[in-house]
Amino acid sequence: MLLIHCPYCEQDLPELEFAYAGEAHIARPTDPSKLSDEEWRDFLFIRTNPKGVHFERWRHLNGCARFFNAVRETVGDKFLATYKTGEPRPDITSLMGDAK
């Protein structure tokens, strides 16, 4: 079982307490009415699916119920870092030493 660190509760808890909430750091269009149907479709449904480091949003359902961001290495399914919503992305190069 994976343990995920909630940056708000400051605890490592089982993954069953959390829900995946999509890719992190997605900028919402400022004026969605000006987008074509294809552009709106791409915004809603097309996301990256990298092999390697991925920035994700998670929600602590059975705790504080807050959203936070996580950096996860998708090949080994290892969480490299978690951080509060609104904080900048951590430097990937400093985290990759933890993934080896």
* Each residue's pLDDT tens digit, 32-84: 999 999 999 999 998 888 899 999 999 999 999 999 999 999 999 999 999 99
pLDDT reading at 98 higher than 60: no
C-alpha dist (Å) from residue 97 to 27, 49, 73, 92, 94: 29, 22, 12, 9, 6
DSSP secondary structure code for residue 40 in this structure: H
pLDDT reading at 100 higher than 60: no
The residue among 17 and 49 whose pLDDT is bigger is 17
pTM over 0.85: no
